[in-house]
Structure 1
C-alpha cells in the first residue's frame, strides 16, 4: 500500500492538537531521550545495593575490556580468579585475557577456512550459509564452550605473563578488518580449488602461516607454550614473595580449579522451544575438533534457583544478556521499567519469544552475577548484583543492579557445573541419549557475546 500524502498532512494536523504528543515532541527535540524519559522515582526504588546472598570475598577489582569484544573471556576468567586468589593467598589477581584472545582469533581463522572447505561442494557462494560465514570470520565475541575449547588446548596464565600492552589487544577493530579481508580472499581461493578437485593441503598450510604472520603484527606469540613451564613471581596478601612454576594447562586445572574432564555446561531460556531439550548450534565454534555449542533449554525459574544455589556455594555465575537494552550505565541499573516510554505513546507489546523471532532480542554480552537478594517468603531473587567488564566508570564502580523482571525478559544463558544440576538435568548432558534440536549458525541463540 502506497503512502497517501494527504493522510500525512491530516495525521500531522491531528497530532498538533494532542497536548501529550506536543509536549513529548518538545522534550525529545531538545534532550536525549534516555535522559528525558528516565524514571528517577523507579531508579531510586531499584537502586538498592543490599544483597542477602553473596560470595564470601568478592572485593577483587573490576576489569576493563576496553574497545574490544572480549566480554566472554573476561566473564569466564573473572569467574575463576577467586579460586587462584584463595589457592595462592592473594589480595587480587587477573587471569590473562590477552593470552586467550590471541589463540582464539588464530583458531577462529583456521576454523573459518575449514567451514569454507566443508561447505564448498554443497553450497553456492551466495547461499545464506556461505554469506553468513563470510560476515565476520574472526569477530572478538564468543560462547562459553568456545572459552573451554581454547583452555583445553592452551591452558591459562596469569596476566603478568601476557598482558594487554599491545594496542590491538584493547582496540581490535582495524586488526579484525584486515584479517577478515584476507580470509575472504582465502575463501575464494579454497572454493575455487575444491570446485576443480585440486588438493588443498599445501594451500591450507600456507594460509595458516600467512594468518599467523598477520597475527604477530598485532600481538606477540605468547611467551609460553601449553605444556611448557613458566615461572611467575608474586607477592601474597601477607607480603610474602613466592615463585610459581607450572604449565598453562596445569595452571588452569590446579590453581584455577577448572575441571576439564567434566567441564561447566550452559543452560538457556529460549521460549521458542520445548523446555528440557538440548539445543545445538550447527557449525558454530572456534577450534577444529572442539566441543559443540550446546545448551539445555529450561524455564526462568530453574535458572534463577540455580543462580541462588551457586551463590550459596560461593560460586559466581557467568550469564549472557541482551546488553545494553534497558541498562543505565551512569547509575548502574538494569530494569525494563526504568524509562517512561509509555508516557510518549511508545508501547512495546512483544513477548520474549516474539522478540527472538523478529530479530529484536539476542544475547550480546556476558557478565557475572556474584550476589542476589531474596525477599522473605520467596525462593526467587528480586534483584542481582552484576559485575561488568567495562571498568569502574561504568555503573557504580563497575557494578550493576539487575531486577528479576529484567533477568527473565532479557537474559538468555547461565553457566553452571554439572554438580549444580539435578540428576535428571545432568543426565541430559551425560547420558548420550538426548538428540539435540539443531539450529543454524545464524539463529539468535548462536549470537556471540562481545
Structure 2
C-alpha cells in the first residue's frame, strides 16, 4: 500500500506555483462558477437554435412544471399523450392530471411494498439485515417511476384532465408526504415481521395499513375521482368555442384518448449486458400483480434509428437519461463539450459501460423528444427536448441535445410497437430471454431514486 507523502505534497505544490496555466485557472475558478467560466462559445452558439428538419406536427402547451417533486416520468408520459387530445379537440393547451396518477401510483407502491416485504421476510428466513430487505426499506414510496409503471396505473385507473384534479401543495413539494409515508411503511414492515413470526395472517393486516395510507394521502393530495365516476370536462378550443364532455377516468383513457398503452415498448441501451435480450429489474414495479419494469436492450445506433422513425411518424418520445450531467439549465443545452474542462487539464475516458459500472452514470430523469435535425446523409445532429421544469428553465422550457450526448447518456426510449421491426417485437415478447438485474441496479434508478435526484 502507498501512503500519501508529505514530501510529495510539498513538491507538487512547488511545481504548481510555477505553472502559469494552473495559476490562471485558479485565479478565475476560485472566484467564478466553473460551468459559466468554461463554456465553449462555439458549442453554445451551435446549440442555441430552433431549427429542426424533422418534428412532430404540434408540441404540447403549456410547458409543464413538476416543481419540487420527482414526478418527471408522469409528466413526460402525459406530455407525450396530451398531443392526441390537443389534436382531437383543437386545443391551444392541455394537461392530464399528473396528481391523479401520482395519487394512485403512490397508493399502489405502498401496497406493493407491503406485499413484497411480507414475501421476502419468508424467503429470507426473517433476516431483516439482508441486502434486499434493507434496500426495500431505503425508499419504499419514492416519487420516481418508469413507463411500464405508468402503463400499470393508467390501465387500472384511467386518466383525467388536469382541471378536474389539479395539483395540491404536497404534489408539487412532496418531501413531507414522502417522509410520513416512509415512516409508516417502516413501522408497518416491523408489524408484518412480528405477525409473520407469530403465524398470523397478514392479508387483513395489510388492508388496515393501506386504509391508513389512503387516509394520509387524501389529506395531502385530495380525494381523487373513482374510476367510473361521471365527470364533466369543460374546455375552450382554438376557435374560442366552449365545449363540454361527459367522461369517466376509464372512458377518458379508453375512448377519448383511444391509445392502447400496452402497445408501447421500452428500448434500452445498456452496453454492460447482451443486446437483443430483454432486461428486467427484479421486484421493480408499483401495482401488485401488474407489469414489472422490462426493456428490450439494443445497440445505441438502433435505438437512435427508432427514435428518428418515431419523430418522422409524428410521435413524440418518452426517454430516460442521466440528468443533469453536462446540462446547462440556463442555456438549455445538453452537450458534454459545452464545458471546456480540457482548459484546466481535466479529461475523462471511461466508456458508457464503465461509467455505469463505476457509478459515474445512471438513468435519473425522463423527458420528451419532439424533433430531430438530420444532416444530408440522414444522420442525426441534434434533438429537441421538452422538459418539465417550467418555461423559465432552458430555452423557454426546451433543451437542445447533441447527438453524442444521446449516445453517451440516453438509456431508454419508448416506442410504439407499430414502429418496431417484427424481429424486435418477437424479441420483446419472448420472456425466455430475460436478463434479471437486482433492484438496486442503475437501470432501475429512474423509478427508485428519482425524487432524491431531481429535488437537488
TM-score tier (shorter)? over 0.9
**1:151 aligned residue (151, 154, 161):** 154
Distance 2:362 2:150 in 1: 19
The Cα offsets for residues 215-269 of structure 1, whole Å up to 9 and x where unpaired, read as 12211121x2112221111222222222211221111122223204x43110010
Distance 1:30 1:193 in 2: 59
SS of match in other structure, 1:383: strand
SS of match in other structure, 2:414: strand
Which of the two has greater helix per residue?
2
**Counterpart in the other structure of 1:197:** 199
Q: Are 1:411 and 2:410 an aligned pair?
A: yes
Shift of 1:194: 1.5
Distance 2:21 2:203 in 1: 68
**Counterpart in the other structure of 1:396:** 395
Shift of 1:20: 1.5
Is the 8 Å Cα contact of residues 53 and 373 (structure 1) preserved in structure 2?
yes
The Cα offsets for residues 123-182 of structure 1, whole Å up to 9 and x where unpaired, read as 321211111111111110100000011001100000011001x21010001111111111
**Counterpart in the other structure of 1:228:** 229
**Counterpart in the other structure of 2:140:** 137
Distance 2:298 2:386 in 1: 24
Distance 1:399 1:333 in 2: 9
Write out aligned runs for 1:235-274 (5 A).
235-260=236-261, 262-274=262-274
**1:446 aligned residue (436, 444, 447):** 444
More off after superposition, 46-55 vs 74-83:
46-55
**Counterpart in the other structure of 2:178:** 176
**Counterpart in the other structure of 2:298:** 298
**Counterpart in the other structure of 1:386:** 385
Shift of 1:405: 0.1
Shift of 1:59: 5.5
Q: Are 1:30 and 2:31 an aligned pair?
A: yes
**Counterpart in the other structure of 1:213:** 215
Shift of 1:403: 0.6
CA RMSD in angstroms comes to 1.3
Distance 1:338 1:91 in 2: 34
Is the 8 Å Cα contact of residues 428 and 434 (structure 1) preserved in structure 2?
no
Is the 8 Å Cα contact of residues 82 and 96 (structure 2) preserved in structure 1?
yes
The Cα offsets for residues 33-76 of structure 1, whole Å up to 9 and x where unpaired, read as 11111112221123232000011122622111111111100000
Shift of 1:433: 5.4
The Cα offsets for residues 328-348 of structure 1, whole Å up to 9 and x where unpaired, read as 111111101011111112111
The Cα offsets for residues 391-439 of structure 1, whole Å up to 9 and x where unpaired, read as 0110010001001000000000000111110000011123x45320000
**Counterpart in the other structure of 2:310:** 310
SS of match in other structure, 2:240: coil
**Counterpart in the other structure of 2:102:** 101
**Counterpart in the other structure of 1:111:** 112
Distance 1:4 1:127 in 2: 40
Is the 8 Å Cα contact of residues 120 and 195 (structure 1) preserved in structure 2?
no
Distance 2:369 2:252 in 1: 24
Distance 1:46 1:226 in 2: 44
Where does the alignment leave 5 or more consecutive residues of structure 1 unmatched?
Answer: none
SS of match in other structure, 1:448: helix
- The aligned length equals 445
Write out aligned runs for 1:30-109 (5 A).
30-58=31-59, 60-109=61-110
- CA distance change for structure 1 residues 188 and 272 in 2, over 3 Å: closer, same or farther? same
SS of match in other structure, 1:25: helix
TM-score by length of 1: 0.96
**Counterpart in the other structure of 1:421:** 420
Is the 8 Å Cα contact of residues 285 and 293 (structure 2) preserved in structure 1?
yes
Shift of 1:32: 1.1
More off after superposition, 178-187 vs 236-245:
236-245
